[in-house]
Structure 1
């Protein structure tokens, strides 16, 4: 697994994964958790048998091994605007070219769900989180891109910008998607969602 870390650029969106300078010091917590999840979900490379028959008197040539996938880990600034996020997502899709690609997008929902939550109780939080869950379940690119940065900041939402990067990549792919939400809850007053998108 090759990991490329993209440093945030000055305009709020992340710097290109290709050619970005590796981060100095330890990885940000979000990238560290992402790397750990990717490592746990990794599969050994598939061995490919030799393409030609080998005479009995000749040593068997080494088995070809598929190249490990390249993983680009990119951060996006919390304050990046929807257009910048969508542009970053489109660029990540373009960098994949014709190769199969996937995104692991990480970010929390609101942190204002209850009196003991980090942001105390905000009556707008539940509707916001339910709207995000509906958008993720329906693979609704437009709904994600319409998330309001100001409201998201007020509700201590960490996932708004990453979700909009996802929306930009999905839109750039030019195909329909289907979504599924397998977890949606707010333990400790912070909303967590687990969703999967796949081509329809």
Structure 2
């Protein structure tokens, strides 16, 4: 059964070494992510599942201990999906197998000193149908084991002229609806997100959020919005459910 969830954005820029001189611009987002992870720890789950988007395939699982790297973003920073997420210098220099969204999650967990429950990763394809997403969530929450989710994903990437997807006037109202849904644990609103519009707005979080909606159907969780902004023209939302 699902006992708590944290929702965080997944830009590699959350890692200060990647952001370099621009790192302070996301300090508030990092602080909010730390607070959200604190809610997970307080729930004392038996297992933590990290759910994040990927461009490739439908779903892919990653066991505890899987390595990742931000070398593709220009820095030799390595992470490991586990209760102690640091890697030594050799591992940091080797490209890992975690997709970027799960590598960012592993970095956040290491930063907050997660040492509670075993961790596993689940990457879901950004084009995965809502029905399949909900089924995956239901499977995660089935049984009596206390499960927590760390759900990674960004809102639209079309908020400004300089955004990755350029300016789209539909982006801001879409992101506002997402913020309301994540902040209030509104399952119906998450399940109703328009797949095609999300694709056009370059929303990476749609499928992971709908996995969460499926997992939370019988959980009775309430939500709290911890952060919402659009630096770099991309919508970032941090929320906690408990």
Query: So what's the TM-score if we normalise by structure 2?
Result: 0.61
CA 1:188–1:3 in structure 2 vs 1: closer, same or farther (change >3 Å)?
same
For the pair 1:99 / 2:145, whether they are aligned, the reply is: yes
Deviation (angstroms), 1:42: 3.4
CA 1:4–1:169 in structure 2 vs 1: closer, same or farther (change >3 Å)?
closer
Deviation (angstroms), 1:3: 9.4
Deviation (angstroms), 1:137: 1.4
CA distance in structure 2 between the aligned counterparts of 1:5 and 1:141, rounded to whole angstroms: 19
8 Å CA contact 1:109–1:191 kept in 2: the answer is yes
For the pair 1:148 / 2:194, whether they are aligned, the reply is: yes
Partner of 2:229: 185
Report SS of the residue matched to 1:115. coil
More helix by share: 2
CA distance in structure 2 between the aligned counterparts of 1:188 and 1:112, rounded to whole angstroms: 9
Deviation (angstroms), 1:99: 2.6
List gaps (5 residues or longer) in structure 1: 45-67
CA 1:141–1:181 in structure 2 vs 1: closer, same or farther (change >3 Å)?
same
For the pair 1:84 / 2:124, whether they are aligned, the reply is: no
Deviation (angstroms), 1:5: 9.3
More strand by share: 2
Radius of gyration: which is bigger?
1
Report SS of the residue matched to 1:142. helix
Partner of 2:6: none
What whole-Å deviation, never above 9, does each CA across 1:11-49 have from its counterpart, x for those lacking one?
x6425678xx999953211111111222233355xxxxx
Alignment of 1:1-200 (within 5 A): 13-15=58-60, 25-44=96-115, 69-94=117-142, 97-171=143-217, 174-198=218-242
Query: So what's the TM-score if we normalise by structure 1?
Result: 0.73
8 Å CA contact 1:110–1:191 kept in 2: the answer is yes
Number of residue pairs matched?
165
Deviation (angstroms), 1:98: 2.1
Deviation (angstroms), 1:178: 0.8
CA distance in structure 1 between the aligned counterparts of 2:101 and 2:114, rounded to whole angstroms: 22
CA distance in structure 2 between the aligned counterparts of 1:43 and 1:80, rounded to whole angstroms: 29
Q: What is the CA RMSD across the aligned residues, in angstroms?
A: 2.9
8 Å CA contact 1:138–1:180 kept in 2: the answer is yes
Deviation (angstroms), 1:77: 0.3
Larger RCO, structure (CA 8 Å, separation 6 or more)? 2
Report SS of the residue matched to 1:104. strand
8 Å CA contact 2:158–2:166 kept in 1: the answer is yes
Deviation (angstroms), 1:177: 1.7
